[in-house]
Structure 1
């Protein structure tokens, strides 16, 4: 069992006219086996939370703490966070020219586990995971995200999660840009990982459509850099019906 504990987290970024505070005191605990949906309007700080947890250098933590199984996440480098069990599926995955998907995946697995996976078992695992995600076997020899469609990029993110088996996975708007079929396949992949591991999920999304496939245990409404309301799956349904107007202060 693993626990990600976020307490009083304040995060700022540098903008043209100085420092701007984005997160204004976030408290959140994610445990193994739990699925937490973070919902909110554009600019509310959802992606800032994701990238701050992953260690993106643009985001500066000004106060608060983040621990994973009691260990100080904020004191870790990006690679140390990955080895500790944190995983981020990015909203906008970057291209890595010259590095094939197969080499990238095996290198990542080796770095996280501290040893190379047995080749025969690894090849079988990769092929099986790709088949489950309806990915052509030739995909493994393409350069990472180079020329990928939006759906291919998101499937590749879930492929990584399925093979790397993190303790806590942060999915930053994995549903964005996906058609109905791709959304269903990606969601099935997430549910497959949940069914075969104790991964804790932090699922960031604008819309409830992915929550029709991945049922959250908890829903948190993010507004102006903090959690404005919390509840169960029924809160997502209410947001679908009412939107976020009741949380927003008129200008």
Structure 2
């Protein structure tokens, strides 16, 4: 069983006032096939955790560890993390002018597998995934995210997830900017990948609405750079009713 483990993770960023600690000792274990939801107020460090797992150079790991099946993730470059089976769906997907969606996806798949997928099968898989996410086939020949609406960008992220088949996906506020219909479609896509591949999911969100469609096995309350409480899906309902005030003791960190 694949396992992503985070142990006593401390992370900081450089500011004009010097180094600022963001993550203050995070412990988390995600097993294959599990869905973990991280909820917390703005500025609690949720996105910092996501980008640290992915290897963003802005964030400095001061201590602690991240391992994937016992291998040291922090020693890997960004592309090595992707090849090992990590995937990040960004809160704000970037545009890539001059690179079509079809070329981008096939190049990524080739890089991960070490060989290009057979063209006929690849075209079939791409078409099937886009249809399931209700994306017009014309998007395949458009530049990556260029001129896409927020919902189209998020659907494209799930197309990537479905075709690249990682072991673990970090979904950073994938529900942000989605209307109800798009939220259902995107959630169905995540569930479909989980059921077919055993994907482990770290789902970062402010709201419980996406958790109506993607059912978490565990919910973690993230406050001031650490996990303040954890429980089952019922914890999300408590947060919806009670908010985060009882967890907050100081100024948000980032």
Task: Give the TM-score range, shorter chain.
Answer: over 0.9
Q: Does 1:57 align with 2:57?
A: yes
Matched residue, 2:141: 141
Aligned residues: 251
Q: 2: CA distance between counterparts of 1:249 and 1:88? A: 30
Which residue does the alignment assign to 1:97? 97
RMSD between aligned residues: 0.8
Q: Which runs of 5+ in 2 are unaligned?
A: none
Which residue of 1 is the match for residue 189 of structure 2?
189
Name the CA shift for 1:201/1:177 in 2 (closer, same or farther; >3 Å).
Answer: same
Following TM superposition, by how much is the alpha carbon of 1:28 offset from its aligned partner in structure 2, in angstroms?
A: 0.2
Counterpart Cα distance in 2 of 1:73 and 1:215? 27
* 1:44 counterpart residue number: 44
In the other structure, the counterpart of 1:18 is 18
Q: Which runs of 5+ in 1 are unaligned?
A: none
Shift of residue 249, structure 1, vs aligned partner = 2.0
CA deviations 1:17-70 (Å, max 9, x no partner) are: 111000000000000000000000000000000000000000110000000000
Task: State the partner residue of 2:227.
Answer: 227
Moved segments of 4+, more than 4 Å: none
Equivalent position SS for 1:247: coil
* SS of equivalent to 2:188: helix
TM-score calculated relative to the size of structure 2: 0.98
* TM-score normalised by L of structure 1: 0.99
Listed as ranges, the matches of 1:211-222 within 5 Å are: 211-222=211-222
Q: CA deviation at 1:250?
A: 6.4
Residue 198 (1) aligns with residue 198 (2): yes
Provide the C-alpha distance between the structure 1 equivalents of 2:67 and 2:240, rounded to a whole number of angstroms: 32
The DSSP-based 3-state class of the residue aligned with 1:49 is helix
- Give, in angstroms, the shift of residue 15 of structure 1: 1.3
Equivalence for 1:166: 166
2:68 is the counterpart of 1:76: no
Aligned position for 1:85: 85
